[in-house]
């Protein structure tokens, strides 16, 4: 008989566990209830320790500065004896990966609905100085709003993000299927915004065709490194095509061909995307002005202060008594930056197909 996992919030005065949502390389996420407000929230639990703390700091500080309808809201970071806990908005509609998987592929109007929200949310992040570097279907969550025909999209997971005031991206982080050629090469610094835009192009392709643009039918039968190498070479050689058996408009084809461009200097910018005829079709009247308004009137009232976050994360560097750090096993724990880089290989070895059921344990996609 399996022993139930211990409750990470046992006896916590503010939050109570409701159920698990997902798990990943660095921790797990639970649906929880705020006992003060009655609100449902998602809490990410990461094991305490100095190396994990360095990784988390960028994520938390970047996420804190983003207050937008198409970005999952950061609420606070706090500690338990064993974990760093990142509390954020709960999106009840699951993630876009599951949504597309259930539909097999989306009709063009539905794909445009989600793509418009993705680009508006990402444009806001970029203008706030934050590049994401791991834009993908699994990292976009959905929430139903009464009166709307389709869910609202919200970007989540800023674990790989980088702000402009830090060094420019130069490491191979992200998920291979969504990775731009310049990121794969990563011999020098690359423009994070352009890499995010490439990932948006991959997302649009997957929504429309239910497949990854750079995965050949033959490579789907391969496993692990062979499959990864095949996709990587196709990305570097720019080998992709639009399926002949799926009808898409000429305007949509044009946009895709201008997003999935190997040279980032010739790829569309976010401004150019938002002036493209396909993007503008059925766009709500005030959508393009939304980001100007949010950037001009960002309200951080009630948001946990940077100083408080810094104090929490400094305390988080002290490991729990039962952690691998406190037990003297730190040398056997891989450096987290190396783990992040190596996740490219791990992700591809376990890459889920859009056309088959999602792997167990990924839940609604909070990560």
Grouping H, G, I as helix, E, B as strand and the rest as coil, residue 133 is coil
Place of tokens 């639009």: 242
Q: Report residue 126 CA to chain centroid gap.
A: 14
What is the DSSP-derived secondary structure letter of residue 71?
A: B
Q: Tell me the Ramachandran region of residue 361: left when phi exceeds 0, alpha when psi lies from -120 to 50, beta otherwise.
A: left
Q: Find the distance separating the first CA and the last CA of the chain, reported in whole Å.
A: 28
Rounded to 5°, the CA angle 94-29-308 comes to: 120
Place of tokens 């009137």: 297
Beta bridge partners of 79: 84
CB atoms near residue 8 (< 10 Å):
19
Place of tokens 């159920």: 19
Beta bridge partners of 71: 155
Pair 27, 366: CB distance under 8 Å: no
331 catalytic residue (yes or no): no
Please, is 9 exposed, middle or buried when counting C-beta atoms within 10 Å of its C-beta (0-12, 13-18, 19+)? buried
Catalytic residue, candidates 7, 34, 123, 134? 134
- In sequence order, what are the residues at sequence separation of 6 or more whose Cβ sits closer than 8 angstroms to the Cβ of residue 350? 359
What is the DSSP-derived secondary structure letter of residue 332?
A: G
Q: Tell me the Ramachandran region of residue 250: left when phi exceeds 0, alpha when psi lies from -120 to 50, beta otherwise.
A: alpha
User: CA–CA separation, 210 vs 202, rounded Å?
Assistant: 11
Pair 78, 43: CB distance under 8 Å: no
- The number of CA neighbours under 13 Å toward the Cβ of 92 is 5
Place of tokens 């890459």: 351
The set of catalytic residues is 134
């Amino acid at each position: 008989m399996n022993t139930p996992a211990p409750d990470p919030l046992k006896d916590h005065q503010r939050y109570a566990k409701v159920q698990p949502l997902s798990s990943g390389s660095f921790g797990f996420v639970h649906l929880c209830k705020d006992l003060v407000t009655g609100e449902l929230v998602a809490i990410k639990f990461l094991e305490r320790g100095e190396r994990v703390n360095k990784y988390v700091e960028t994520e938390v500080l970047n996420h804190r500065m983003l207050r937008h309808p198409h970005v999952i809201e950061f609420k606070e970071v706090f500690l338990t004896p064993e974990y760093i806990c990142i509390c954020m908005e709960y999106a009840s509609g699951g993630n876009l990966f599951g949504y597309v998987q259930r539909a097999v592929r989306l009709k063009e109007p539905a794909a445009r609905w989600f793509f418009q929200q993705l680009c508006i949310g990402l444009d806001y992040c970029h203008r706030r100085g934050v590049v994401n570097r791991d834009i993908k279907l699994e990292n976009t969550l959905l929430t139903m709003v009464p009166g709307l025909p389709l869910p609202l999209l919200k970007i989540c997971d800023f674990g790989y993000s980088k702000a402009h005031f830090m060094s420019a991206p130069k490491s191979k982080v992200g998920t291979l299927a969504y990775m731009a050629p310049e990121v794969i090469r990563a011999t020098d610094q690359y423009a994070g915004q352009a890499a995010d835009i490439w990932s948006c192009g991959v997302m649009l392709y997957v929504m429309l065709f239910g497949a990854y643009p750079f995965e050949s039918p033959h490579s789907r039968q391969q496993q692990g490194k062979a499959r990864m190498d095949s996709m990587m070479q196709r990305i570097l050689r720019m080998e992709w095509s639009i399926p002949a058996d799926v009808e898409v408009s000429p305007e949509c084809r044009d946009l895709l061909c201008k997003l999935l461009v190997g040279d980032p200097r010739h790829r569309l910018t976010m401004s150019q995307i938002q002036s493209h005829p396909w993007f503008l079709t059925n766009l709500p009247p005030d959508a393009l002005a939304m980001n100007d308004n949010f950037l001009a009137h960002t309200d951080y009232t009630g948001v946990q202060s940077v100083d408080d976050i810094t104090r929490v994360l400094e305390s988080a560097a002290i490991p729990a008594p039962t952690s691998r750090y406190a037990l003297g096993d730190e040398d056997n724990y891989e450096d987290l930056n190396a783990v992040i880089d190596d996740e490219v290989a791990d992700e591809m070895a376990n890459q889920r197909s859009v056309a088959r059921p999602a792997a167990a344990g990924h839940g609604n996609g909070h990560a």
